[in-house]
């Protein structure tokens, strides 16, 4: 039976990531350290081949794909951009500590980000884009795809679709890392779920 693998990869480090600053829609490039780490990870291997490539529209994701898969001609998926952090964009956790709204959001007592996306809006946007992508791959018969996106997006997608079920925090991964989802069409058509088929990059013993 034909199955479809979608490899979800988190972008490399930016300067803001290194400084613990929230960035969502700010279009930052990879930092020198982020670029060096990606090059080292690529050299070590473990990134699977694919026929199709997709990316968030933001520069840090497009650059990550170009490092890991040079010349791959990625298709842009606007719905897989990072969360809109509104008033918290560009601020560090230290700066936000005194904001009760932020503390409530971190603790899960608040769904809305002031001036940004609510948890439901973020989830609806990301899952709608992902399900369109799955449908597109199935129509074309393309069984392997790489998607470069953001940490929050990867976590949301894995928590929403991956079996066995895990809490969202379990799907936090490092820069340049990620997970593979294996989709069986017959199962997906009944209920949109997928098998968590491994971490990325694939460890040498498993690749």
Q: pLDDT of 168-202, one tens digit each?
A: 999 999 999 999 999 999 999 999 999 999 999 99
Max alpha carbon distance in the chain (Å)? Answer: 54
Q: Would you list the DSSP string of 51-109?
A: SEEEE-SSHHHHHHHHHHSTT--PEE-GGGSPP--GGGTT-BHHHHTT-HHHHHHHTTS
Q: Is residue 55 assigned to a domain?
A: yes
Enter the pTM of the model.
Answer: 0.95
Q: Is residue 171 assigned to a domain?
A: yes
Cβ of 74: how many Cβ atoms within 10 Å?
A: 19
Domain count, the chain: 1
Q: What are the backbone dihedrals phi and psi of residue 182, each rounded to the nearest 5 degrees, phi first?
A: -110, 120
| Residue carrying the six token digits 């968590």 | 196
Average pLDDT over residues 66-87: 97
pLDDT band at 110 (very low <50, low <70, confident <90, very high): confident
Six token digits for residue 202: 């694939």
Return the CATH number at 159. Answer: 3.40.50.1240
Q: Note down the domain range covering 131.
A: 4-83+118-200
């Amino acid at each position: 039976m034909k199955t479809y693998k979608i490899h979800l990869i988190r972008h490399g480090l930016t300067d803001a990531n290194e400084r613990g600053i929230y960035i969502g829609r700010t279009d930052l490039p990879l930092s020198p350290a982020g670029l060096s780490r990606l090059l080292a990870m690529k050299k070590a291997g473990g990134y699977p081949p694919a026929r199709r490539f997709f990316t968030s529209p933001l520069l840090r994701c497009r650059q990550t794909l170009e490092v890991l898969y040079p010349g791959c001609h990625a298709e842009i998926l606007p719905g897989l951009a990072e969360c809109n952090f509104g008033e918290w964009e560009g601020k560090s956790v230290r700066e936000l500590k005194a904001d009760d709204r932020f503390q409530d959001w971190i603790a899960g007592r608040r769904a809305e980000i002031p001036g940004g996306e609510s948890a439901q809006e973020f989830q609806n946007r990301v899952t709608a884009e992902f399900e369109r992508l799955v449908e597109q791959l199935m129509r074309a018969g393309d069984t392997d795809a790489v998607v470069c996106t953001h940490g929050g997006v990867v976590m949301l997608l894995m928590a929403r679709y991956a079996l066995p079920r895990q809490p969202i925090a379990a799907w936090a991964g490092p820069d340049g890392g990620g997970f593979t989802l294996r989709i069986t069409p017959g199962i997906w058509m009944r209920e949109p779920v997928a098998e968590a088929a491994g971490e990325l990059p694939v460890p040498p013993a498993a690749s």
